[in-house]
Amino acid sequence: MNRMKIRFSTMIAVLVGVLLSTFLNGPTVRAVEGESITISPASKPYKLKAGEVIKDKLTVINDGTVGYMFKVYAAPYSVKNRSYEPDYSTTTPNADLQTWVRFDQQSVHLEPNERTEISYTVTVPTDATPGGHYGVLFAETQPQQSEQIARKKRVGTIVYATIQGQYVQAGKELSTTISPLQIGGPVSGMLTVENTGNTDFTMTNSMTAWNIVGSEVYKKSHTRIILPKTTRDIPVKWENGPELGIFRIETTTDILGKQVAHQHWVLVAPIWFLITVFAVLGLFAFWIVRRIRG
């Protein structure tokens, strides 16, 4: 019995020691309330020549309630899959623009409600290949000296640069899919676009809806950037659309001056409505059979 008590006491002492060590010596993470950072513009397109040097600026805004130090740096920009998950670490042949950028200053302190302009220089190599080259310019908050674990927030400006010369701008719509039965709504589908060239292009997709009596009830357009040698899945959706009704849906894509339109008839209904309809139809069919046999 005494041995069990000694073992139990030893275990408790070790556990308390571990907990005290964690609280007293472990790294501290202090959430900074009110910290917020914004960058403008969100993206920057350029048309440049090999060997060209340009200067430009971006704006960083502290729209929070606490001051902080932030640093700026450039990183590669590409996408990983059809959903266009951004990749800021993989350097590909056309995700190399970060090596062309030099900032006039690397770090700046901003107080709440302050903004500052960050100047940078883009030096295009003389042997830069024609077509698209991409990167992102980040502004990232830095931790306080008292913090042992860095808490950081970052925002970025995506740079789309087309180097003039023999480049190809080409692409097409592969498909637009909208199910004729939409359970629960709103109306949604998927548009797939392919870029077969070696530079990006901007495309427009729109959705228009008419109710069963022919009145237009919805219309909205969006623009998207499609990177070279990629295929992009673009969700199409009737934003805040109804949960019940029959509608004629028209989707239109405009890619490099070529328009493609599709017509769809869609039934939108919640699951309870469908169950009720099938139940009524079942009862009616049962009644007809009983009448025939009767």
CATH code for the domain of 114: 2.60.40.10
| Assigned domain for 281 exists | no
pLDDT of residue 10: 47
Residue range 35-50: average pLDDT? 96
Q: Report the C-alpha gap between 167 and 282 in whole angstroms.
A: 63
Residue 278 C-alpha from the chain's centroid: 40
Q: Do residues 190 and 268 both lie within one domain?
A: yes
Query: What are the residues whose beta carbons fall under 8 Å from the beta carbon of 259, sequence distance 6 or more?
Result: 252, 253
If pLDDT is split at 50, 70 and 90, which confidence band does 15 have? Answer: very low
Token pair, residue 241, equals 């659309």
* CA dihedral over 179, 180, 184, 187, signed as positive or negative: positive
H/E stretch holding 25 reads helix 2-25
> How high is the pLDDT of residue 187?
94
Judge if 245 and 218 occupy the same domain: yes
* Residue 143, amino acid: P
Q: State whether 192 and 155 are in the same domain.
A: no
User: Of 106 and 288, which is predicted with more confidence?
Assistant: 106
Is 291 within a domain?
A: no
Say yes or no: 42 and 78 in one domain: yes
64 plus 125 within the same structural domain: yes
Beta bridge partners of 228: none
Residue 165's pLDDT is what?
94
Is the pLDDT reported for residue 271 higher than 70?
A: yes
Number of domains in the chain: 2
H or E element at residue 219: strand 216-226
- 112 with 46, same domain: the answer is yes
Structural domain range at position 195: 171-273
Query: Where a domain ends, among 119, 134, 163?
Result: 163
What's the predicted TM-score (pTM) here? 0.80
